[in-house]
A and B are shown apart, each in its own frame.
Chain A
Amino acid sequence: MTVAGHTSDPESGADAGRGDVLAPGRDEGRTERERREDVEARYGWRYTLGQLRRDPTAAAGLVVVGLVTLVAAVAWVDAVLFDFLAEFGVFAGLGVEQYALAKAVWTSPVAEPAGTPRLLPPVGLENQFGEGTLAHPLGTDHRGRDILLRLVYGSRVAIQVGFVAAVVGMLGGTVVGAVSGYYGGRVDDVLMRFVETLYSIPFLVLVLSLVAVLGARENLTIIMFVVGVVYVPEFARLIRSRVFSVREEVYVEAARAAGVSTPAIIRRHVIPNSITPVLVQGTLRVGTAILTVAGLSFLGFGVNPPTPSWGRMLSISRDYMIQNVWFSIWPGLAILITVVGFNLFGDGLRDALDPRLKN
């Protein structure tokens, strides 16, 4: 990458003749500020984030992604981390248990509170079961649980699934694609035929059959990994095409000439220079993975029943659509907003990282 404003050579200065052998460069002449500006010029995280902020849709995506992730992180601590810690006497003694936080602030998202009307509409609306109240701003579900609370705790499943599946796909795809692209030849043939075989099976069919074979109807962990594995082919192909050009770079040859081993060259030189499109695609895939797992939940594959998840909420609300349509609308909206947020963010990231689109 050439950097604008940095073409003047310190040694080609007017009076730096051949005579002054070891004349220092003129970089002294450039102020710290100028140098730092060069650093920021089209390079690094700070620049990328700056570009994102200037792009309104990407910024909106970033805000959505940030908010949902934050909410999901809190929910994850409360639902998963506390559940894990409660097994240790020390923490249990401190009152740590699953949903301790939710209970402290409000109520458990899984308990069925006695006396709360079922299928209440959002605040300000009215249906056959009663009038919406501020106590349940988005209404209640078929068992009288608060929808807002269940949405919050459902985000944990969505985000966890999205991130884990995307990361599994990125890691697997990067390793397979980088090795395949760097070695080329027979290694490439074997790996790519394998990857293409995976690629040729329809996505949902592959996921469903893998989940069924692994007997993991209600095992979220296995489902996340399966979705991630199914993403491996596209990441592998993506990075492989970049690796083909990066492996011809002089610095790769220089590393080889310096005695660096092949795995180290792939790890230190090839992958970092080919990873950009994978990061962008990964961001977009978080959204798709959320959608996929919501779809799987809808079909009955996913978390165990009391645990809130958006897909399952949608699935159950089907039966109550006539009585309280909001029960279906809220989880749908949550999925929509989150997925669109990741897509906007991913698109913005691609624009920010692609120098050809700069104006």
Chain B
Amino acid sequence: MTVPFLRVEDLSVSFPTEDGVVTAVDGVSFTVERGKTLAIVGESGSGKSVTSQALMGLVNKRNARVEGQAWVGDNELISATDDELRKLRGSVMSMIFQDPFASLHPFYRIGAQLAEAARVHRDLSKADARQEVLTMLGKVGIPNPERRIDDYPHQLSGGMRQRVMIAMALINGPSLLIADEPTTALDVTVQAQIMELLDELQDQYNTAIILITHDLGVVADVADEVAVMYAGRLVERGTLEDIFYSPQMPYTVGLLSSVPRLDAVSDRLTPIAGQPPSLIRLPAGCVFQPRCAAAHLVPDDRCAHERPDLLSVSSTHAVRCLLDLEARERFAAESLAAVVGGTEEQHERIPPSRAQDLVKHFPITKGAIRKKTVGTVSAVNSVNLGVSAGETLGLVGESGCGKSTAGRTLLKLLEPTAGKVFYDGRDITGLSRKDMVPLRRELQMIFQDPYSSLNPRHTVGGIISAPYEVQGIEPVGGVKRAVQETMERVGLNPEHYNRYPNEFSGGQRQRIGIARAVTLRPKVVVCDEPVSALDVSIQAQVINLLQDLQDEFGIAYIFVAHDLSVVRQMSHRVAVMYLGSIVEITDRHSLYASPLHPYTHALMSAVPVPDPRLEATRERIVLQGDLPSPINLPSGCVFHTRCFRAQEKCRHDIPQLLEFAPGHQVACHFPIVESLGHDLILGPDSGIVELEAPEVQPPSEVIADVESAGSSRPEGIDYAADPNFSEGEW
């Protein structure tokens, strides 16, 4: 048997703190072969990043204890001196970090930074290094490397910067690449580009990759082997198939069943209860026991007292669990069976909140006093949308598409540049801030970042009771009681009334934000990426909470998110936005079954699905390039610069949002009407709206067909042009 390229044996990292020793990594062992990818999966605090930092020698040994061994080829990393490590870093092993905005030096040109990386390890002349940098930039897919090489990092988009980071990591042809959440900060279409690039480069360089991620979809897409970490321990390890199709550890099972999925809709997600444990006060037995749904299946409460070992199930698969094999498999099968298709309810269509031809431009000004307008960011262009009571409208798109701006303008947190905003049949566009105050109790907002959305200097009680104070409402039984009832309703302990936000975890903080938004029983709530900052197991808890609150109080949600899977789970109808315009809007089943707009297609195919077998068969449409700047919108169809179906017409004519099937509108000259006959991702499924599409024809003829169909359409279907549509249709 050959020795694996990377061997990690019994790696432990602990940090002594004032309150006790934090064991961030505890006895982790794994191996990776060249050309293979090991994915380390876990939530924040699980020790996955510390593991990789320990391997790279980036853990400060002055305040941490690192034990164990790690071999890369013949080099032992843990006992290596700083000098030895410095020689290895960047040449034999290198690392890609999560945030491409923070990891490039803003003062140096990217070419200089890359050349520096090459010349540190190799004796290259300046000219040779530059040549090499150019080649490398080409390899990572930077267009016009000759022009880009002298750019500064801020001149590049996020995706481009991550490509530069990858180029820097690979410039010396390392045999081991550690990628720490390399695509988390990127949009999904860019993520698809980067993952594809990593895959290509891995083949080319025969690199061993350790991919650290929380996204099971990404894992299913690229990993060969998977290690699941929880509270610093490796709790399960196996091949991709082992982990996804016969998960053994209840934690892995919980993760798989709590992820909202693009390829399935269940009425309710099954979250993992509770919070990850404190690394200082770990449970005495199995670290997962307090949250484990299967712990009661083990007799004598053994899980609470006994630390399980990592035991092999097969030659490739090992798990740390006290359940016997049969019980584990039964538990897994039952839990995962719950992830099945759900039902669709019809909602009455009386939209309390509605936007008509909404336009929001942000002027770019110059000069301190005169404020001359030198340009305009067109964040939202002529958007029509509405949401009914008890309904969720998903607003989905990549960052910079204007979805958050649209949501905020609908609440009049931003003044629309043009167009109208209605609430409860009333035009609220012109209302002053003062006149809006009474309406604010019915229009609320839930924010993305649970850290920035709560004032750190106010108690939880103060934060949730602020709306009462501002509105001057004195509920029966007093504010405190009302607030505590709401706290209880959203799953917070009412006794924590006087605590400060910093004492709560991200998920609990988001519950505080939700409590603040719903405590006055609003009619419409705009949720701006409410779960994107949360860990997977917590995400599901919050999504369920939002759905329960909607059922109970009939709240209309406008759910702004970039994650198509979360949107699918939450929404009744979905609007897809691109560069400030809605390109497609319909109910979620039609959208996910038969998206008409090429952008929707690309977006959906870019989302990796946590199912390796499905992932292997999926065709991915990788969009080229980045989102164009909203300062200079492309002419004609805004999507034509990246569209794989773009024709001459798209460059000149702006497509209108037209109804192609009942309730299904799309703004495209050449929508994808070839009927797939089944869900794009799911496969054949019941209850899916079939399009009355023509017989399958070669694409060019289909296009001609649609064009003629479009021109012969009766006037009334053109929503934007029809003056009668505005009331009631939404």
A and B interact: no
Residues of A whose CB lies within 8 Å of any CB of B are none
Chain B positions within 8 Å of A, measured between CB atoms, are: none
